[in-house]
Amino acid sequence: MSRYPEALSAHLAGAVTTLCHCWRLTRSDGLAIGFTDHDRTLEIGGLAYEPASGFTASEARDTLGMAVDTQDIEGALSSERIRDEDVSAGLYDGAVVETLLVDWREPGVHAVIRKAAIGKIVRSDTSFVAELQSASHTLDQPQGRIISRRCDAELGDARCGFLLARDGFSGAGTVVAVQGVDTLVVEGIETFEPGWFSHGRLTWTSGAKTGRMFRIVHHRTGTEGVVLVLPPEALRGAEAGDAFTLEAGCDKSFATCKAKFANALNFRGFPHLPGNDAAYGYVSDNGLFDGGPVVP
């Protein structure tokens, strides 16, 4: 049951109420923005809640048990603070949304009635619908480690222990040309062998996406020069002359960890774990059964 401040409870007990809903959205990068279904801007706690977004909300329901309660909020991409490219880039994935019940005559009289996280986002040309999931959705997420042959650490983090800042594992370059929706022709990293930066990270240091980081899908050399393939959202707004930095990539296999990074002692997977091929295999004359490791 929700507990309301005394002033809000007294207002609810009156014959006439002047209530509206506000939404405080906090992105994963810490940016907080506010919206309201009222017809004018309200200020609460130093944050302006703007009405121009045209937010509307579906029925919200709280149920007993472990089921995930959901609510949808729908709005237009009319606010200068909600940009289509930011939605595409995933900045709103997992963002925390607080729903406030507010007396619009006195915005200081309010209560937080719901706290949820953004789940699925469906976009059209000029609008979006975001699903709000209750806190119980975290119970559906895997907790702890997953037993897998591949490493579950991020290259360069504390569990991996590899120092990417050393020579030969990072680089910098500039864009020569943008090809299609996901391909860049670049210069400045010609000394690195093809594939060195596949699965690595690219961070823009100039241009429209300065400071943004994206995963590199593929790094190769073609007739046009050195080519990087990235997710389409990484190239929106990119143009010739934009600069970037790169970090070497890892495909999470034990062989790559050992040969490319000499970091086998910190490998966070289980490379010698027998798989389905072993479970359903059978003895053959040319098989080698000496008790040695599955992966050298």
The pLDDT value given to residue 43: 92
Comparing CA positions, the residue from 40, 39, 36 lying closest to residue 57 is 36
Q: Which amino acid is at 295?
A: V
pTM score = 0.58
Amino acid residing at 203 = T
Q: List beta partners, residue 202.
A: 214, 246
Amino acid (one-letter) located at 140 = D
Domain 170-247: give its CATH architecture.
Beta Barrel (2.40)
Q: Are 33 and 46 in contact (CB under 8 A)?
A: no
User: Cα separation of 156 and 13, whole Å?
Assistant: 57
Name the residue ranges covered by the structural domains of the chain.
6-137, 170-247
The gap between the terminal CA atoms of the chain, to the nearest Å, is: 59
Rg (CA), the chain: 26
Who contacts 246 (Cβ-Cβ below 8 Å, separation ≥6)?
170, 171, 172, 173, 189, 197, 200, 201, 202, 203, 216
Classify burial at 137, counting beta carbons within 10 Å of its beta carbon; exposed 0-12, middle 13-18, buried 19 or more: middle
* φ/ψ of residue 190, rounded to 5: -65, -20
Q: In tens digits, what is the pLDDT along the chain, a chain of 296 residues?
A: 457 888 899 998 989 999 998 888 888 778 888 888 888 999 998 999 988 554 555 544 444 444 444 455 554 444 566 676 677 667 777 788 888 999 999 999 999 988 888 776 766 665 666 777 766 666 666 677 778 889 999 999 999 999 988 889 999 999 999 998 899 999 999 999 999 999 999 999 998 888 889 999 999 998 889 999 999 888 888 889 999 999 999 999 999 999 999 999 999 999 887 777 666 666 667 766 666 666 65
Identify the CA nearest to 247 among candidates 232, 266, 261.
261
Residue 114, classified by CB atoms within 10 Å of its CB into exposed (0-12), middle (13-18) or buried (19+), is buried
